[in-house]
Amino acid sequence: MLGTVRSLIHPQRIETHAVKGVDLRIEQGELIGFLGPNGAGKTTTLKMLSGILFPTSGEAHVLGYVPNKRDPELLRKISLVMGNKQQLWWDLPAWDSFLVLKELYEVDDVLFKRRVDRLIEALDLGDKVQSQVRKLSLGERMKCELVAALLHNPQIVFLDEPTIGLDVVSQKRIRDFLKELHDEDGCTVLLTSHYMQDVQELCDRVIVIDHGSIVFEGTLDVLSAKFSDSRRVKLMLSRPVLAIDLVKYGKVVEHVDTHVIFEVSRAETAAVTGALLQALPATDVSIEEVDIEDVIRDLFTSGKS
């Protein structure tokens, strides 16, 4: 009881920096993956870049504007899509929300119809936009959210987990749509996602953030080479081999009948592969990088960052 009273009178406060020392530059037309574990500062960064949050220090500039000043000209040129938030009215058809947003963004009637028709067709929404939002499936709602966010043809699109909770078919449909949109419009896209398939299929460059700071910036291939000291050697054998005869060559990560996968250190890949080909009845061999999802997971659990 005494502790409770003391905490009310003299509360202890702990200051946490959600984002600190993040220095990044994104060129017009880039499609960037923004990666990091939960609580790393990804969403906070997107909210600052879109003007929702005010940075306590440092500066942010988007298309020459300061985002937190909420200049109407900037707001008409950017868009933010959050997979766990919605901007559509729950009890109205999505189409009604589109009409309201059309007026807010001051989109010309002809341009609006052309743009929305194209988005609806690309996302295969059909007559779904005339149904109450509450009656749509999660995938259909997410597609409608994308239409709402893109109907004013923004130059910069911030996507925060746009495929979260969706089935693999819906995820693929949205990835294909985003790739097509980026290729046609040339818009700049900053994407956060916990689904590495999204990042691998869409992004040319990634920025990795942890504890509010950037720990890596570059391509996925460079990320894999920098933070993974191993590679996968895959063998197809002409006949089954006992497991006890395989472990002496390295870590066996998969062994099913005549299919074997070894994980070996990057420095010893050539030597181990040569030894395997001499000792085992191999009919095919391939050397691959460790799955990027495993690299990311190890990066945030091993303290390498």
Give me the residue spans of the domains in the chain.
Answer: 31-224, 229-289
Is residue 44 a contact partner of residue 18, using CB atoms and an 8 Å limit?
yes
Q: In the CATH scheme, what is the code of domain 31-224?
A: 3.40.50.300
Please, which contacts does 10-19 make with residues 24 or more away whose CB atoms are closer than 8 Å?
17/212, 18/44, 18/212, 19/44, 19/45, 19/48, 19/55, 19/212
Is residue 59 a contact partner of residue 119, using CB atoms and an 8 Å limit?
no
Helix (H, G, I), strand (E, B) or coil at 11: coil
CA distances from 188 to 32, 182, 228 (A): 8, 7, 30
Report the pLDDT value the prediction gives residue 248, as an integer from 0 to 100: 86
In 132-212 the beta strands, taken as DSSP E runs, fall at: 156-160, 188-192, 205-210
Is residue 112 a contact partner of residue 104, using CB atoms and an 8 Å limit?
no
Is residue 281 a contact partner of residue 242, using CB atoms and an 8 Å limit?
no
- The topology under which CATH files domain 229-289 is Alpha-Beta Plaits (3.30.70)
Residues 6+ apart with CB under 8 A from 131: 93, 94
The yes-or-no answer to whether 31-224 and 229-289 have a common fold is: no
Residues (pLDDT < 50) of the chain are none
Report the pLDDT value the prediction gives residue 179, as an integer from 0 to 100: 93
Residues 6+ apart with CB under 8 A from 123: 143, 146, 147, 173, 174, 177
Report the pLDDT value the prediction gives residue 57, as an integer from 0 to 100: 82
Report the pLDDT value the prediction gives residue 84, as an integer from 0 to 100: 76
Report the pLDDT value the prediction gives residue 136, as an integer from 0 to 100: 92
Is residue 293 a contact partner of residue 196, using CB atoms and an 8 Å limit?
yes
Instruction: Tell me the pTM.
Output: 0.79
Rounded CA-CA distance 118/150 in Å is 11
